[in-house]
């Protein structure tokens, strides 16, 4: 089990039912705490770290909705704590995601929900939640960098008081290596205020082999790390997402099959261990909703797309979690 390799996780693993264009997947709030504990038991056989994406708030919830009564992402931290308590040690630690909300009141509810979930989880088993990840792939320009920076500044001390670190996950941190980037200064300020950043880095277009994919990801990572070091030497640079799907058409047009997924997993694990870089593989369990059977006109997100096939495990027709082999 790698000291450095973690895995991204959401519990939305149910299959499609019905006929397109009216097919559906299970409701976002339908996965119970015990369902999630069962998923985490599987994950804990190979990983000790998970990163999540949000607290489950959405536009269909009033901002006053209790943090534990929204979509099922809200249950992940407490489920991990329950598993840790049952095992008598930390077997899963959680980097808790805070999703970007368009409504300011919902955004504040999302943030406060993360604090509430972390307090509840760490009361059950101390040290379960270790960090807050403010937004995912939201930082794309000066305005969004400033918005996220404001969230970090407003909440950093309260998080530190709970022994929880604060940071950001994004696919745009390569811009910090380019002083002429239109949001270089805003990105620099954001990094100055972060305990960590998580870089979403995937193999480049048409990467011929998983090892070539890892080589490219490593080069991109090292460029970012070298640019961050003089800005904030205390800011830990991680990989927040990287992966290779087992089937389907992907945005980077790689050769997608189970053998390549597993080869990429092994190669990035070796790289992370050799470089000492915390790296979150995308993702734990296939999420079929991401390959939308009702969405014919978007190749990599539609029914033949790879988005639902990045998991190390999948939920089979008998309700069992199976590792891809």
CB 321 within 8 A of CB 314: yes
* pLDDT higher than 90, residue 222: yes
Q: Does the predicted TM-score (pTM) go above 0.75? A: yes
* DSSP for 192-220, written as a single string: HT-SEEEEE----TT-SSHHHHHHHHHHH
- The predicted-structure confidence for 94-137, as pLDDT tens digits, reads as follows 999 999 999 999 999 999 999 999 999 999 999 999 999 999 99
Is the CA virtual torsion 282, 35, 38, 24 positive or negative?
A: negative
Residue-averaged pLDDT of the chain: 97
78 exposed, middle or buried (CB, 10 Å; 0-12, 13-18, 19+)? buried
- The predicted-structure confidence for 73-84, as pLDDT tens digits, reads as follows 999 999 999 999
**Which is nearest to 36 in space by CA: 136, 121, 161?**
121
Region 152-177 average pLDDT = 98
How many whole angstroms separate alpha carbon 57 and alpha carbon 35? 19
* Residue 189: CA count within 13 A, CB half-sphere: 17
pLDDT at 235: 98
**Secondary structure tally for the chain: helices H, strands E:** 7, 10
**Domains (range + CATH), the chain:** 5-323 (3.20.20.80)
SS3 string, 302-324, reads CCCECHHHCCCEEECCCCCEEEC
Which tokens belong to 293?
Answer: 């059977």
> pLDDT-based confidence at 216, cuts 50/70/90?
very high
How many whole angstroms separate alpha carbon 259 and alpha carbon 289? 23
User: In degrees, to the nearest 5, what angle opens at C-alpha 112 toward C-alphas 169 and 79?
Assistant: 75
Task: Please give the sequence-ordered ranges of beta strands (E in DSSP) within 2-73, or none if there are none.
Answer: 5-8, 49-51
- The predicted-structure confidence for 232-286, as pLDDT tens digits, reads as follows 999 999 999 999 999 999 999 999 999 999 999 999 999 999 999 999 999 999 9
pLDDT at 316: 97
How many whole angstroms separate alpha carbon 262 and alpha carbon 282? 12
Angle between helix 258-275 and 210-228 (nearest 10) = 30
* pLDDT higher than 80, residue 34: yes
């Amino acid at each position: 089990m790698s000291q450095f390799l973690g895995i991204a996780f959401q519990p939305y693993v149910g299959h499609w039912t019905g006929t397109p264009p009216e097919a559906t997947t299970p409701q976002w709030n339908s996965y119970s705490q015990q369902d999630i504990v069962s998923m985490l038991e599987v994950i804990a056989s190979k990983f000790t770290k998970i990163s999540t994406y949000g607290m489950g708030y959405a536009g269909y919830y009033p901002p006053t909705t209790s943090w534990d009564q929204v979509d099922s992402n809200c249950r992940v931290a407490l489920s991990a704590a329950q598993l840790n308590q049952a095992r008598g040690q930390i077997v899963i630690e959680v980097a808790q995601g805070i999703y970007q909300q368009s409504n300011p009141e919902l955004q504040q509810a999302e943030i406060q929900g993360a604090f509430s979930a972390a307090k509840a989880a760490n009361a059950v088993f101390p040290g379960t939640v270790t960090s807050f990840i403010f937004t995912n792939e939201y930082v794309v320009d000066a305005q969004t960098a400033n918005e996220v920076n404001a969230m970090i500044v407003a909440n950093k001390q309260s998080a530190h008081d709970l022994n929880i670190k604060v940071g950001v996950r994004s696919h745009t941190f390569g811009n910090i290596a380019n002083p002429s980037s239109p949001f270089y200064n805003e990105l620099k300020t954001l990094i100055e205020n972060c305990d960590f950043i998580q870089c979403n880095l995937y193999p480049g277009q048409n990467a011929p082999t998983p090892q070539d994919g890892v080589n490219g990801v490593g080069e991109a990572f090292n460029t970012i790390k070298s640019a961050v070091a003089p800005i904030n030497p205390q800011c830990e640079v991680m990989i927040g997402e990287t992966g290779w799907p087992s089937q389907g058409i992907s945005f980077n047009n790689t050769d997608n099959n189970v053998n390549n997924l597993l080869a990429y997993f092994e190669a990035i694990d070796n790289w992370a261990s050799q470089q000492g870089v915390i790296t979150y593989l995308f993702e734990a369990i296939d999420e079929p909703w991401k390959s939308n059977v009702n969405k014919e006109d978007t190749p990599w997100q539609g029914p033949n797309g790879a988005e639902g096939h990045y998991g190390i495990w999948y939920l089979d027709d008998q309700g069992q979690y199976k590792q891809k082999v």
